[in-house]
Amino acid sequence: MNLNVILAIFRKDLISSVKSKNILIILLTPVFLSILFNSTVSLTDNIVVPIAVYDGGSSTDFVEYLSSTGSYDIIVPGSADKAEELLYTEKVAAMVLVPEGFSTDLENSFTPSLNITVNPYDAKSVVFLQTYKDVIMDFAGQDYPVDISLNNLPSDLQSRVNVPIWVMFSVIFVGMMVLPNTLTTEKEKKTLDAILVSPASVKDVIYGKSFFGLFLAIFISLLIIFINGGFAGNFPVVLFFIVLGSTAFTGLGLLIASHTDNYSSASLLSTICMAPLILPALLADLSREMRYASYLVPSTYVLNGIKGAMLNDSGVSDLYPELGVLVLFNLVVYALASHVLKNRRHI
């Protein structure tokens, strides 16, 4: 192993990455998605939902009350058919048909009916479904049978809760896309042959490019943590799991690069592999079967390790199962990569 050659390959790839649109897109995608997600979540508190309200009788006070809440943009059509047309043409997220005598029945302690139809394909309908019952109860002057104290997490903490997920995604996305990109591109351009006739050995090329992929995965992860205010908890342990995860998925990227001869094939194979690596970790809490499936992918242990250290201030002794699995996975994946490379004439 020639350290000078490895560093030279690393510098060459680093300079080339600045000029490569493909690598820049790979690096910026997780950063952009994390910013977009957090911005979208923060905007949901200020959404005004357009709804069509047709009053079939003399309940103008109810219609005026809906409008006064500030949560809805009320459209009053001339008929129930017109209200339905607005809903089906997606002009509104929900349709409310108020029957004749609705307000009077409430005043007389009766239980009137209210016909509500929601467009499930409109994102704003989610906000309507969360609020309409409270609004109707307030108009009717009714109270819940219990006093509920509802508190939200501070906005900075809400953002921080999502950071481990974005870091896991970055580690997987960058680790499995960068190395296949650089290696297969050099195969296609025949520049890899030129490198191999120099003092650089096959192992030097692998180490140099793996170090490059590892560096980028760690850099993007730290950038996402910085942008989303995630420098919290036991950060040395967070960084340790980022390094372990980046090493593991860079190793998977190396395996993909060794099995493919062009960028299109490598990109397709990486994309196919990422879904089963990401989804079980994200959906582990939905069912027992999904939780068992999540134990089979390394991303689960990366996510749990970062989450435990960042949000619960856990130390290495608290996370030794995750640590052990990731160390074992790294040993296996690099052993496989070495075996594959030894049985191929070219990288």
Residue 198 per-residue DSSP state: T
* 229 Rama class: left (phi>0) / alpha (psi -120 to 50) / beta: left
Per domain, the residue ranges of the chain are: 3-40+156-344, 49-153
DSSP string, 76-133: --SSHHHHHHHHHTTS-SEEEEEPTTHHHHHHTT-----EEEE-TTSTHHHHHHHHHH
CA-to-CA distance for 221 and 39, rounded, in angstroms? 19
2 φ/ψ angles, rounded to the nearest 5 degrees: -105, 110
What pLDDT is recorded for position 71? 86
List the chain residues with pLDDT less than 70: 1-2, 5, 38-46, 150-160, 187-203, 341-347
What pLDDT is recorded for position 89? 92
What pLDDT is recorded for position 188? 67
CA-to-CA distance for 32 and 9, rounded, in angstroms? 28
Name the residue type at position 215: F
CATH number belonging to the domain at 49-153, selected among 3.40.50.300, 2.120.10.30, 3.40.50.12280, 3.40.1710.10: 3.40.1710.10
What pLDDT is recorded for position 240? 93
